[in-house]
Amino acid sequence: MNAPIPHALDAIASDVIADALHLHIALGPGLLESVYTVLLQKKLTERGYEVEREKPIPVTFEGVHFDMGFRADLIINDCFIVELKSVEKLAPVHSKQLLTYLRLTDTRLGLLINFGEELLKDGIKRVAN
């Protein structure tokens, strides 16, 4: 992945949070993760971002290659990962999962967003590599 300017990452994070809040206020919690993913991709694309949804990410370890080690929910401008959930509460493993994705893609910053929270602000976590 690309090495973006830190303030550019902050701008992306702010826009993602703003659009996620807008969606959560309009739709509320409890929908499928896929609904929030598609709609958030649409909102961010309208802002001019290049957004890839459910992008397969290859992983190689000790000579063993997996074409799809994981799927990133959203990758923005090839430098920022957003992992979405729609669960009652985030578990510690969710942050660890995003950190693993950041490390495997050599990406500096991502957001973990849980649309299942009553107040979305309680379900947003910034994860840095």
Instruction: Please report which confidence band the pLDDT of residue 63 belongs to, taking 50, 70 and 90 as the band edges.
Output: very high
Give the Cα separation of 43 and 41 in Å (integer).
6
> Is the pLDDT at 14 greater than 60, yes or no?
yes
Instruction: Please report which confidence band the pLDDT of residue 7 belongs to, taking 50, 70 and 90 as the band edges.
Output: confident
When pLDDT is averaged across residues 98-105 and rounded to a whole number, the result is 94
Taking the whole predicted model, whether its pTM rises above 0.85 is answered as: yes
Give the Cα separation of 71 and 54 in Å (integer).
5
Could you state, in order of their start, the residue ranges of all structural domains in the chain? 6-128
Q: Residue 3 has what pLDDT?
A: 58
Over the stretch 35-56, which tens digit does the pLDDT of each residue have? 999 999 999 999 999 999 999 9
When pLDDT is averaged across residues 67-95 and rounded to a whole number, the result is 94
Q: Residue 117 has what pLDDT?
A: 95
Q: Which of 29, 30, 4, 8 is nearest to 121 (CA)?
A: 29
Mean pLDDT of the chain: 93
Give the Cα separation of 91 and 95 in Å (integer).
8
When pLDDT is averaged across residues 49-77 and rounded to a whole number, the result is 93
Burial 25-62 (b: 16+ CB within 10 A, else e): eeeebeeebeebbebbbebbeeeebebebebebeeeee
> Is the pLDDT at 62 greater than 90, yes or no?
yes
Partners of 111 in beta bridges: 82, 126
Q: Taking the CB of residue 75, how many other CB atoms lie within 10 A of it? A: 22
Instruction: Please report which confidence band the pLDDT of residue 114 belongs to, taking 50, 70 and 90 as the band edges.
Output: very high
